[in-house]
Structure 1
Amino acid sequence: MSGQPPLRFGNAPCSWGTIEGFGQGIPYDRMLDELKETGYEGSELGDFGYMPTDPERLREAFLERGLVLLGGFVGVPLTEKEEHGPGEAHAVRTAALMAALADLDPGWKPLLVLADAHSRDPVRFQRAGRIRPEERLEEERWQTLALGIRRIAQAVGAAAGLETVFHFHAASYVETPEEIDRLVELTGIPLVFDTGHYLYGSGALEGEVVLEGLRRLMPFVRYVHFKDLDPRVAERARREGWDYKKAVGQGLFCELGRGAIDFGRVARFLVDQGYRGFVTVEQDVLPGMGTPKESALRSRIYLRQVTGW
């Protein structure tokens, strides 16, 4: 639409303590109210069942607040072939629900955000942020993972008319830059580029690594998550051997502008590369951590300061 800035900002339930596999936070209606009040234009769905699963109720919740549904996260154990069928069913159910809100904004349709289910493998869970080459997948399991992605993306498109994008994620089998490269080589699937997960998965602490990753992967980037990373927490997590959940609980992903990543530079790079549409802010927190509304507001103020939008 004319007059809109090149980047529009949403937020997600994980910033309010509803984070896949780790707990339920603030009720969805309060979360959406606070998201709107702090200056965001859209939200992701969160865990299936967190928000209403009746399409009309969900649609009304977004319409009455003037919000856009940006996408829905589905984690599937993609290296386990027997999980592809249940994963497809879950993804199609999620996409069918989102499709009822696909007309809320003329410039955006919800995306099915697919990931390899994280924190299931004890080694990957324990060593998130410091994965060694010998802990990566063998070729047969890479092929199984790619098969699952193609199957689910095709089913989502056929059943709901929505696009599937892939979210690399700490404590999953697609975490490191090398693993992301292998994923796109095998599948060509569009990516959600998550700045915080990319930096943590790289094993580095410098925000410049995020820009390097974007430069390399930009042809595949369909959607973006702005997540900051506290380098002090990341360094300690790696040094002391924290598992992924403990690192998140200690504030690994901090408010925007308080960590290693310069989001003004990231935003300018995205716009220069022709990216338009929504960016979703995420500050992964566990239930009871911090003050979600106030943190969301501070991140939004920071984004206005560094982008002008």
Structure 2
Amino acid sequence: MTIGSAPDSWGVWFADDPEQVDPGRFLDEVAAAGYTWIELGPVGYLPTDANALQDQLDAHRLKVSAGTVFEHLHQPDSWDDVWSQVSTVGALTRAVGGEHIVVIPDVWRDHKTGEPKEPRELTAEQWRRMTSGMNELGRRILDEYGLKVQFHSHADSHVGYQTDIERFLEATDPAYVNLCLDTGHVAYYGGDNLDLITRYPERIGYLHLKQVDPAIRDKVLAEDLSFPEAVRLGVMVEPPSGVPDLAPILDAVGDFGRPIYGIVEQDMYPCPPEVPLPIARRTFTYLNSCLEGRLQ
């Protein structure tokens, strides 16, 4: 298993935001924490010129596992907007040696204000439009960029609960779309990560590793708070202080007998700039202990 981290673990949600650490500090600190693999994060946070990005990666002895794209394919006439992201992110990810595109569904509540933008449930036609669109997106990304699409269920999105994830997997083509299993976002809605791994092993193509505080999670769900509010309350916590237990998840995925990335993502937007590095170092040490030296 190849372990890495991401700008998200440094409180980065946006390409440019005064409450976030600057990219240079992120690169310095993710390397200092012990990681050699990263995701690109929101497009524009790190350089979008491939040569400039590669120079910075080389200077920090870092490599890229994946880029990230956000989709809203359930909406009519959304293809061009989603593909415009791919044309930047796909080319950049391929140029610096990445293998995957993590596709995250847009949230139905505004990521900064928490205000609703659209209904929280999709109609049957919107589900069909989303899943058929994801199949086409995965096919074209594979054909044009040679990258594998991993769909990331997400809090406050239309694919969040385990039943949503199962419905999505059953409606999409494993040749073109598989699952970025985000352990924290699954647990956020009370899902069972090990059950998904056991029943859909061939569909788990990538991991995001995080934990939630169950007491804060229960408060958030009971009061129907938005995900940004939940993050500010500290719903995502460093392992091993939350749920799910990551050790059995890492063991179960290790039994696949194929390479897989596990990228640490502890949602912390916003956070003081001195907070991420100590957490990242402790998390790296913890994961190494879980993997008994099998961490790359």
Aligned residue number for residue 279 of structure 2: 295
CA distance in 2, matches of 1:135, 1:27: 33
By how many angstroms is 1:186 displaced? 1.3
**2:3 matched residue in structure 1:** 9
Q: Are the equivalent residues in 1 in contact too, given 2:64–2:96 (CA < 8 A)? A: yes
C-alpha contact 1:16 1:31 (8 A) present in aligned 2:
yes
Task: Write the letter of the residue equivalent to 1:199.
Answer: A
* d(CA) in 2 for partners of 1:158, 1:219: 21
Match of 2:12 among 10, 14, 18: 18
> SS state of the match for residue 144, structure 2?
helix
**Contact kept in structure 2, 1:126 and 1:242, CA below 8 Å:** no
Structure 1 residue aligned with 2:181, among 154, 175, 193?
193
Q: How many residues align?
A: 284
- Any residues of structure 2 matched to 1:91-240 within 5 Å, and which? 91-102=86-97, 109-120=98-109, 136-188=121-173, 189-201=177-189, 203=190, 209-240=192-223
Q: Please give the per-residue CA displacement for 1:215-239, whole angstroms capped at 9, x wherever unaligned.
A: 1222201111111111111011122
Partner of 2:37: 42
Report the Cα distance in structure 1 between the residues aligned to 2:62 and 2:16, rounded to whole angstroms: 26
Structure 2 equivalent of residue 305 of structure 1: 289
Q: Percent identity?
A: 28
8 Å Cα contact 2:211-2:243 kept in structure 1 = yes
- Is the Cα contact below 8 Å between 1:12 and 1:280 reproduced in 2? yes
CA distance in 1 between partners of 2:199 and 2:87 (Å): 31
Q: How far did residue 25 of structure 1 move?
A: 1.5
Q: What are structure 2's unaligned runs of at least 5 residues? A: none
Q: Which residue of 2 is the match for residue 4 of structure 1?
A: none
Residues 20 and 271 in structure 2, CA contact (< 8 A), matched pair in contact too: yes
Q: Distance in 2 between matches of 1:219 and 1:160?
A: 22
- TM-score, normalised relative to structure 2: 0.89
Q: Within 2, Cα distance between the matches of 1:20 and 1:66?
A: 24
Alpha-carbon deviation of 1:244?
Answer: 1.2
Q: Pick from 55, 59, 72: which aligns with 1:60? A: 55
Deviation at 1:307, TM superposition (A): 2.1
Match of 1:85 in 2: 80
Q: Is the 8 A contact 1:92 1:156 kept in 2?
A: no
Q: Distance in 1 between matches of 2:285 and 2:62?
A: 19
Secondary structure of the structure 1 residue equivalent to 2:44: coil
Q: What letter is aligned with 1:152?
A: L
Q: Does 1:266 align with 2:261?
A: no
**Structure 1 CA distance, aligned partners of 2:30 and 2:41?**
13
Question: Which one-letter code corresponds to 2:279 in the other structure?
Answer: S
Q: Distance in 1 between matches of 2:204 and 2:240?
A: 23
Given that 1:169 and 1:197 are in contact with CA atoms closer than 8 Å, whether structure 2 keeps it comes out as: yes
Deviations, residues 191-212 of structure 1 (Å, cap 9, x unaligned): 10110011113x36xxxx2212
Distance 2:180 2:90 in 1: 16
The answer to which of 185-194 and 153-162 deviates more is: 153-162
The alpha-carbon deviation at position 79 of structure 1 amounts to: 1.0
| Equivalent position SS for 2:77 | helix
Q: Matches of 2:258 and 2:159 in 1, distance apart?
A: 24
What is the TM-score when the length of structure 1 is the normalising length?
A: 0.85
- What is the deviation of 1:126? 7.2
SS where residue 60 of structure 2 aligns?
A: coil
* DSSP 3-state at the match of 1:40: coil
- How far is the alpha carbon of 1:273 from its aligned partner? 2.5
